[in-house]
Amino acid sequence: MKILIVDDGDYMREGLIDSIDWESYGSGEIMQAVNGQECGYMFGSTYRE
């Protein structure tokens, strides 16, 4: 399972990544995006406002 955390706060994203044992939930990859636009680009879609 892949996890994508989207938040404009660096500390919030890092805190979520560091505070949860993602492997125990079966996650092998954790990705980050700063905003919805970056998230859309990560999945190859076009961002729409």
Q: What is the pLDDT of residues 4-18, one digit of tens each?
A: 999 999 999 999 999
Delimit the domains of the chain by residue range. Answer: 2-42
On the 0-12 / 13-18 / 19+ scale of CB atoms within 10 A, 24 is exposed
Distance CA 43, CA 49 (A): 16
pLDDT band at 2 (very low <50, low <70, confident <90, very high): confident
Q: Is 10 exposed, middle or buried (0-12, 13-18, 19+ CB in 10 A)?
A: exposed
Q: What is the pLDDT of residue 5?
A: 94
pLDDT above 60 (res 28): yes
Strand bridging mode 29-33 / 2-6: parallel
Compute the mean pLDDT over every residue in the chain, rounded to the nearest whole number.
Answer: 88
pLDDT: is 39 or 47 the higher one? 39
Lookup result for tokens 């399972």: 1
